[in-house]
Amino acid sequence: MIESALLLFLVIDPFGNLPFVLAVLSGAEKHHYRKTILRETFLAFLILVVFVLAGEALLGYLNIERASLMVAGGVILFLISLKMIFQSAKDVFAGDYSRDSFLFPIAVPCLAGPSAITTVMILRSQQQTDLLGLLLALLAVLTATFIVFLLGRRLSDWLGERGIRAVEKLMGLLLNLVAVNMLLIGVRDFLT
């Protein structure tokens, strides 16, 4: 369970997603910010639980190979990472989501994105991780993510705007590496 939780924590990456969440909810009042963070984290948990329980069956029904999921996830993450590197997090998704960010863009694709969905499916099917252990690991990681996001504005005040932008660019670079790696794994799996 600890290994699964650590892997999920790295994939969901609450510290890397913090600048994005702060940018999306920059205009939200304190109470609305807390409420939105709780709701979006809970929705991400539910979506990932669905893929833990039914992900393989859904892919089989749609006749989608795991390699396709990896390539598609890699492309999406690659595009998002480029925007994070070369633009502000506020520009990653156009529109004002501070008032209405239901499900998108925080729950999906920020938390329950292609890499997290792929990871839970791989942990369940290929790694044969026990169901209860995987669900507990997922719950622990998203609880930690909720706490990081809840303290996000304090961290932002402490780091300052330049510090947050530096973290954002660094996380964009790391996300870019994860995206390229997902693409390469998907292509390799497809070819073999």
Query: For the chain, which residues make up each domain, given as ranges?
Result: 2-191
CB 172 within 8 A of CB 92: no
pLDDT value for 111: 93
Burial zone of 45 (CB within 10 Å; 0-12 exposed, 13-18 middle, 19+ buried) = buried
CB 115 within 8 A of CB 77: yes
In sequence order, the 6+-apart residues with CB closer than 8 A to the CB of 163 are none
* pLDDT of 127 over the 70 cut: no
Around Cβ 67, how many Cβ atoms within 10 Å?
16
Q: In the 8-state DSSP scheme, what is residue 127?
A: S
CB 109 within 8 A of CB 76: yes
Please give the residue that has the higher pLDDT: either 64 or 127.
Answer: 64
Mean residue pLDDT of the chain comes to: 85
Q: How confident is the model at residue 92 (pLDDT cuts 50, 70, 90)?
A: low
Q: What is the pTM of this model?
A: 0.76
Give CA–CA dist 69/59, Å, rounded. 9
**DSSP of 42-94:** HHHHHHHHHHHHHHHHHHHHTT--HHHHHHHHHHHHHHHHHHHHHS-GGGTS-
**Of 13-17, 105-109, 140-144, which gets the smallest average pLDDT?**
13-17
